[in-house]
Amino acid sequence: MPLQLQIDGRAITDIDSFYAEMNRVFMAGEDWQLGSSLDALDDLLYAGYGVLRGHATATVAWRDAELSRVALGMDATCTWLQAKLQQPGTFSADVIRRQLDALERGEGQTYFEIVMEIFASHPRITLRLE
């Protein structure tokens, strides 16, 4: 039987609280925490550490997902991208500006949509939005 986990969408009000919730759900019992990084989230879902250790599959119910979709929507995504622009040499400013422009045109991915894409790339994890 797959591991059953539950994300509380009410606990997610911004990107920082998203990672706090990911740590609560996936890193219980670990002596370290997942950093605020999409790459770290992807690595967590690939790797067998945290509560995923020893489980071939997992089902994750994301309760109140619509609240999270709003919290990780356009405003949070723009703020996240603009913060990247404040780190010259770390991120490509041209790429970030194109992402911001795409968001303003309604064509870019929100942080929530990127997270959904990451979860979808892990076939051993079934995500149910509730």
* Sign (positive or negative) of CA dihedral 15, 26, 38, 56: negative
Helix (H, G, I), strand (E, B) or coil at 48: coil
Reported as a single tens digit per residue, the pLDDT across 12-44 is: 999 999 999 999 999 998 999 999 999 999 999
Residue 84 has pLDDT above 90, yes or no: yes
In DSSP terms, which residues pair with 59 in a beta bridge?
4, 126
Distances (CA, A) of 48 to 20, 51, 56, 106: 19, 8, 9, 36
Domain of residue 30, CATH code: 3.30.370.10
Among candidate residues 51, 102, 109, the one with its CA nearest the CA of residue 94: 102
What pLDDT does residue 44 have? 93
Residue 91's CB: how many other CB atoms inside 10 A? 14
40-80, pLDDT tens digit by residue?
999 999 987 899 999 999 999 999 999 999 999 999 999 99
Structural domains counted in the chain: 2
Residue at token pair 């790339």 = 121
Structural domain including 43 reads: 3-72+111-129
pTM, 2 dp? 0.94
* Same domain? 105 vs 60: no
Query: Is residue 2 scored above 90 in pLDDT?
Result: no
At position 69, the amino acid (one-letter code) is: R
pLDDT interval class at 128 (50, 70, 90):
very high
Please give the pLDDT value at position 100: 95
| Residues 59, 21 share a domain | yes
